[in-house]
Structures are given as structure tokens and as C-alpha cells.
Amino acid sequence: MRRRTWVGGICEALKQGADIVLRGRVADASPTIGIAAYHYGWIRTSYEELAGAFVAGHFIECSTYVTGGNFSGFKSLPGKVTNLGFPIIEMASNGHFIVTKQEGRDGMVTVDTCKAQLLYEIQGPLYYNSDVVARLDGIEIRQHGKDRVLVTGIKGIKPPPTTKVGITAKGGYQAEGHYFLVGLDIEEKADMVETQVRHLLDESKFLCLKFRTNGRCPEDPRSQCRYRRPSNLRPGAQ
């Protein structure tokens, strides 16, 4: 069993001359924060800038989700769902940034795909991280050209006094994942996500690879109170 927690390790490794930083489990946005802080020389109290990098990392932490991979408007995606472009962040020194994607790949980057990714795990105007707290009530998201979205207006507050500790232990060899599907056309969306996952995995390496959708939310509910349970697409592998 091992446990680990640290703050600032990625930036410090780059300062010491590392070309590649190998790390264990870190917060999803930490690589983006660390690289930006190193590149622009931000310090621990550069809260506005760190908050921008934190949210930028949040936009791209789920890979192709922000380019349409889990978008409720997936029927409007151009091209193939198995050929989506990976997202790219163009970070400015003041914490503003542009979200774009690989050229020559399918998918799209729009205000709507970015808003969907921003809000998927946000529970209020304050978004917490070990490095900084991002205040989101003034955020502005604007289309800045084809597959280019400009994000500004993020404010930064000093980080909370506590942080999570990652604890791991050697276990078995069964794996499962969970995709929480929301919005309309759940059956078709589940098929789309399953197609993406099967395309990425070599099924010959597994004894068993199954997909199962559990639960269902009402279509077009009149209020959030009725929209309590998303559909859970559960891939399991052995």
C-alpha cells in the first residue's frame, strides 16, 4: 500500500531541467497548471493565473469530451466519432486561454461543447483544487473562429487548507469503467460511446469485454428535481 500527496511537484521538476515528468496519480488539471506555471514563471500566490490554468486543464482533462466525445448534441458532430481530434490549450500569461483541437481530425470545439465540459462536475461558483480555487461566476466563453473558443473572466482565490491524499494497494485484475450519459437519445449515445471504447481497445487481450447500460432519466423533464438519475454505461473487462 502507498499513499501520496504533494503540491508544486510538476513545476519544480521542470525547473530542475526535466524534459519529461513521470508522476503518480495527480489532480486532473495538475499537468496543465504545472507546465503553465513553469513556462510563465508564476508563483504560488499568482491566483488569477493559476485559476485560469486550472480551468484550462479541466477543459481538456477528459480528452476528446470537449471536442464532442460526450456531447449531448453528438448528432451534429462532423466526421466519425472514432476519429475525434484531441483538444489543445493555448495558454496566455494572464490566465486567459483558447481551446482548440488537432487539425485533420474530426469533432468540433464550440461554445456548447466547452460549456458541457466545464459544467459536468461543477457544484457551484467555486471550483476547488490543491493549488487554487477558481471562481467561475464571471467566466466568459466566446467563439473565436472555427474550432477555437476563447475563455476569460476566471478569478482566483487562495487554495483550501486541506487536500486529498491518494492511497493505492495491489488488487485483482478485473476492471470496469463508468460513463454517465445525460440528455436526449440515450440509447444512441450509449452505442456511440461503446463504439469509441471498442475502437480503442484490443478485444483479443481480454477474456471478457461487456457493456451494460443501467438506469434511465426522463426525456425533457420540467425541472432538475425530476432529472435525478443519469444513465450509467458500464464497460467491464477481464
Query: What does the pLDDT look like over 115-159, one tens digit per residue?
Result: 999 998 888 899 999 899 999 999 999 999 999 999 999 999 999
Is residue 2 within 8 A of residue 25, CB to CB? The reply is no
pLDDT at site 53 = 98
What pLDDT, on a 0 to 100 scale, did the predictor assign at position 16? 94
User: Which whole-number Å values give the CA distances from 172 to 112, 175, 176, 205, 237, in the listed order?
Assistant: 40, 9, 12, 16, 12
59, three cell numbers: 477543459
Backbone angles phi, psi at 62, to 5 degrees: -100, 30
Secondary structure letter of residue 19 according to DSSP: S
Arithmetic mean of pLDDT over the chain: 88
Measured torsion, CA atoms of residues 122, 133, 101, 78, in degrees rounded to the nearest 10 = 10
| Residue 141, all three cell numbers | 466563453
Give residue for cell 437519445.
185
Question: What is the rounded distance in angstroms from the CA atom of residue 34 to the CA atom of residue 20?
Answer: 12
**Residue pLDDT, tens place only, 169-226:** 776 667 888 888 877 788 888 899 999 988 888 888 888 888 888 877 666 666 656 5
CA distance 58 to 160: 18
